C-alpha cells in the first residue's frame, strides 16, 4: 500500500508515525511518504531560542496532560522523560475588565467574593439551575448559549475572553457543539450546567467509594505540558524517527483520482501515484487540491474560515516590571477597544523561558474580532502592544527583547453548523476510497485533538486496506 500524507505539521507527522506503528503491529507492508511545502516540518509548532536566551513559541506552547493522546505519543517516541509541566502558579489566571486584572474564581467561595462580576450578574448565573434546557437539537452560537443560560455579563467577562484565548474567535459566530461539545452534552443529559455539577459531584463521591472514575462537569483538565526546549522537540523527534520518509520543500500542486489510485503533481515537476492520500493541511489548502474534481467538497472546505494573529514576545529585566507575575497571564474581557486578546506570562509558566533575572511576556493581538491587525507592520504591533501592557499591567519600560510573529490564517473557526459541514465533508470524501483528511480545522484545534484524530485516521487507513484486500 502506497500512502502519501500532504502536510508535515503535528497532524501529518503523527498520522504517519502512528500508521507506521499500527502497520508493523499487524504485519502490514506500506510505502509511506510525507510531503511538506515549507523548508521545515512542524506547521504552527516552532520554538525559537534567541541569542539573548529567550525561548519564544511561534505557535502553541503546550498541551494538557489530562488526555492520554499526546502523552502516549511521547511514550512511543521515547521522549516522555523530556516533558516538563507548568509551574503551580500557572493555575492562577486573570481577566482584564473594569480597568484592572481580576483573578478568575477557582471555587464557589472565590466566585462569591470576586469583583469581576456584579452582584446581579452572580444572581443571574445562579438562576441557571432553574432555566429549562433548550428544545431541539440544532446548533447555536456560544454567545446565544451563554446569554440564555448564564447572562450577558458572564458572556462578556468569562466566556468571551476564554473563546478569544482558545480560538481567537468571536462567540457570536462560534459553534457551541463543535467548540465545547462537553458543555452541550451536559445540558442535553442533565438539563443544565449547575444540575450537571451537582449530579456529577454525587457520582464522583460514590465512584471514589467504589474505586471508579467519573468525568467532571468541566470536562477535560490537566496540567499544561511541554518540553524544556519548547514544543518543537516533539515535531523534531517525529521527523527524526520518520527520517527520509519526510520530504520538505515538496509542495503538492495537483491531486486527482485515477481509478482506485490517486495522482499527485508536485511543484518541482515530479508526479506520484498513491493508493491512499491523507490531507493534513489547512482547509483552504485542501480545497485548492480537490476543486478540480469535486467543487462541492471544495466549497464545504472554503466555509471554514481562519482568524489571523500577531504574536508579540517582549523580554524585560525583572526589576523593570513592577507587576506581580505569579500566574498564567490574562485575557481581555469583551467588548473592549484594544486589539490585545491577552498576554501570557511565559517565564512564569515554564522555567528557562527567559534569562536569569528576566521575564518573557507573550501577547496575542487580532483574532476574529480585530482582523485589521493582520495587516499591521512591526512598528505598529510593537506600539500597540506597549500601549496595551501599559494599560493592563502598568508596564511603561521599553522591552529589552522583541520578537514579532505574524500568523495569517492562524486558527480555524468552528462556526455555527460546523458539525453538519463536517458530516457533509465525510460523505463527500467517502466517494473517493483512499482519500482522508485530518488536522485542526475539523475535529478540534488542540494538540491532543490533532493527535487523537491522527490515531483515528491511521486506523481508518488500515481498515480501508483490509476491505480492499477482501474484495
Domain that holds residue 148: 108-210
Q: Which three cell numbers stand for residue 444?
A: 478540534
Whole-angstrom Cα Rg for the chain: 23
Please report whether residue 383 resides in a domain: yes
Whether residue 339 lies inside any domain: the answer is yes
CA atoms within 13 A on the CB side of 466: 11
Is the domain of 295 the same as that of 419?
yes
> Is 203 in the same domain as 141?
yes
Mean pLDDT of all residues belonging to the chain:
94
Distance (Å, whole) CA 231 – CA 263: 34
Q: What is the pLDDT of residues 13-42, one digit of tens each?
A: 999 999 999 999 999 999 999 999 999 999
Q: What would the pLDDT profile of 89-114 be if each residue is shown by its tens digit?
A: 888 999 999 999 999 998 889 999 99
Which CATH number fits the domain that encloses residue 13?
3.50.50.60
Q: Between vectors from CA 298 to CA 292 and to CA 300, what angle results, nearest 5°?
A: 160
Hey, how many other C-beta atoms are within 10 angstroms of the C-beta on 277? 24
Are 339 and 392 within one domain?
Answer: yes
Same domain, 254 and 177: no
Do 426 and 298 lie in one domain? The reply is: yes
Overall number of domains in the chain? 3
Looking up residue 330, the CATH number of its domain turns out to be 3.90.660.20
pLDDT above 90 (res 220):
no
Condensed to tens digits (0 to 9), the pLDDT of residues 280-325 reads 999 999 999 999 999 999 999 999 999 999 999 999 999 999 999 9
- Average pLDDT of 438-453? 97
Q: Tell me the percentage of the chain whose pLDDT exceeds 90.
A: 89
Q: Mention every residue, 6+ apart, whose C-beta is less than 8 A from residue 281.
A: 6, 7, 9, 12, 439
Of the candidates 181, 210, 239, which is a domain's last residue?
A: 210
pLDDT given for residue 470 in this prediction: 60
Mean pLDDT to the nearest integer, 434-459? 98
Cell of 308: 489571523
Given the C-alpha cell 439551575, which residue does it identify?
129
Dihedral sign for Cα 227, 233, 235, 239, please: negative
For residues 368-376, average pLDDT = 97
pLDDT of res. 371: 96
Can you give the pLDDT at residue 94? 97
Task: Report the chain's terminal Cα–Cα distance, integer Å.
Answer: 15
Residue 145 contacts residue 388 (beta carbons within 8 Å): no
Same domain, residue pair 149 and 287: no
201 and 260 assigned to the same domain: no
Q: Are residues 183 and 328 in the same domain?
A: no
Domain harbouring 120, CATH code: 1.10.3110.10
400 domain-assigned: yes
Same domain, 294 and 437: yes
Average pLDDT of the residues in 384-397: 98
Q: Tens digits of per-residue pLDDT, 331-354?
A: 999 887 899 999 999 999 999 999
Residues 299 and 430 in one domain: yes
Domain-embedded: residue 135: yes
Task: Let me know whether 259 and 353 are in one domain.
Answer: no
Of 203-207, 224-228, 253-257, the range with the lowest mean pLDDT is 203-207
Residue 145 to residue 150: CA distance in whole angstroms = 8
Contact 23, 30 (CB under 8 A): yes
Are 162 and 116 contained in the same domain? yes
On whether residue 399 sits in a domain, the answer given is yes
Peptide bond into 335 cis (omega under 30): yes
Is residue 124 situated within a structural domain? Answer: yes
Query: pTM to 2 decimals?
Result: 0.94
The mean per-residue pLDDT over the stretch 235-254 comes to 98
Q: Band of the pLDDT at 409, cuts 50, 70, 90?
A: very high
Of 396, 412, 428, at which residue does a domain stop?
A: 412
Residue 310: inside a domain, yes or no? yes
C-alpha cell of residue 325: 507575575
pLDDT at 56 over 90: yes
In a domain, 57, yes or no: no
pLDDT at 107: 86
Look at 186-200, 350-364, 438-452 and tell me which has the smallest mean pLDDT.
Answer: 186-200
The conformation of residue 222, written as its DSSP 8-state character, comes to -
Choosing from 210, 240, 257, the residue where a domain stops is 210
Amino acid at each position: 500500500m502506497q500512502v502519501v500524507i500532504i502536510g508535515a505539521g503535528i497532524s501529518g507527522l503523527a498520522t504517519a508515525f502512528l500508521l507506521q506503528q499500527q502497520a508493523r503491529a499487524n504485519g502490514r507492508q506500506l510505502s509511506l511518504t510525507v510531503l511538506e511545502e515549507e523548508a521545515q516540518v512542524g506547521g504552527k509548532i516552532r520554538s525559537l531560542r534567541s541569542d539573548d536566551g529567550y525561548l519564544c513559541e511561534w505557535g502553541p506552547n503546550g498541551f494538557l496532560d489530562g488526555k492520554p493522546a499526546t502523552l502516549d505519543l511521547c511514550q512511543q517516541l521515547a521522549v516522555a522523560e523530556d516533558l516538563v509541566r507548568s509551574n503551580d502558579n500557572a493555575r492562577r489566571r486573570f481577566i482584564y475588565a473594569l480597568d484592572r486584572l481580576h483573578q478568575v474564581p477557582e471555587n464557589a467561595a472565590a466566585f462569591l467574593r470576586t469583583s469581576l462580576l456584579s452582584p446581579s450578574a452572580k444572581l443571574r448565573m445562579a438562576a441557571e439551575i432553574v432555566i429549562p434546557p433548550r428544545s431541539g437539537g440544532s446548533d447555536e452560537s456560544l454567545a446565544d448559549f451563554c446569554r440564555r443560560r448564564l447572562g450577558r455579563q458572564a458572556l462578556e467577562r468569562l466566556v468571551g475572553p476564554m473563546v478569544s484565548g482558545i480560538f481567537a474567535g468571536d462567540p457570536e459566530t462560534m459553534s457551541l457543539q463543535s467548540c465545547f461539545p462537553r458543555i452541550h452534552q451536559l445540558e442535553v443529559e442533565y438539563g443544565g450546567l449547575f444540575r450537571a455539577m451537582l449530579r456529577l459531584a454525587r457520582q464522583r463521591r460514590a465512584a471514589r467509594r467504589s474505586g471508579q472514575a467519573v468525568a467532571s462537569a468541566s470536562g477535560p483538565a490537566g496540567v499544561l505540558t511541554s518540553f524544556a526546549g519548547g514544543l518543537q522537540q516533539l515535531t523534531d523527534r517525529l521527523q527524526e524517527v520518520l527520517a527520509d520518509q519526510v520530504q520538505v520543500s515538496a509542495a503538492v500542486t495537483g491531486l486527482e483520482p485515477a481509478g482506485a489510485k490517486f495522482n499527485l503533481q508536485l511543484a518541482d515537476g515530479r508526479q506520484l501515484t498513491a493508493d491512499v492520500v491523507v490531507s493534513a493541511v489547512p482547509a483552504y489548502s485542501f480545497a485548492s487540491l480537490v476543486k478540480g474534481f469535486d467543487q462541492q467538497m471544495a466549497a464545504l472546505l472554503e466555509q471554514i474560515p481562519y482568524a489571523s494573529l500577531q504574536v508579540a514576545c517582549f523580554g524585560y529585566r525583572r526589576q523593570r516590571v513592577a507587576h506581580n507575575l505569579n500566574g498564567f497571564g490574562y485575557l481581555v474581557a469583551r467588548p473592549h477597544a484594544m486589539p490585545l486578546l491577552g498576554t501570557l506570562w511565559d517565564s512564569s509558566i515554564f522555567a528557562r523561558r527567559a534569562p536569569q533575572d528576566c521575564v518573557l511576556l507573550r501577547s496575542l493581538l487580532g483574532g476574529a474580532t480585530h482582523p485589521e491587525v493582520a495587516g499591521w507592520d512591526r512598528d505598529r504591533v510593537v506600539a500597540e502592544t506597549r500601549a496595551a501592557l501599559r494599560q493592563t499591567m502598568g508596564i511603561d519600560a521599553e522591552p529589552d527583547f522583541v520578537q514579532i510573529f505574524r500568523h495569517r490564517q492562524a486558527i480555524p473557526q468552528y462556526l455555527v453548523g460546523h458539525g453538519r459541514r463536517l458530516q457533509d465533508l465525510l460523505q463527500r470524501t467517502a466517494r473517493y476510497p483512499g482519500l482522508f483528511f485530518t488536522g485542526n480545522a475539523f475535529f478540534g484545534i488542540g494538540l491532543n485533538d490533532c493527535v487523537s484524530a491522527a490515531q483515528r485516521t491511521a486506523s481508518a487507513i488500515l481498515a480501508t486496506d483490509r476491505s480492499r484486500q477482501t474484495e
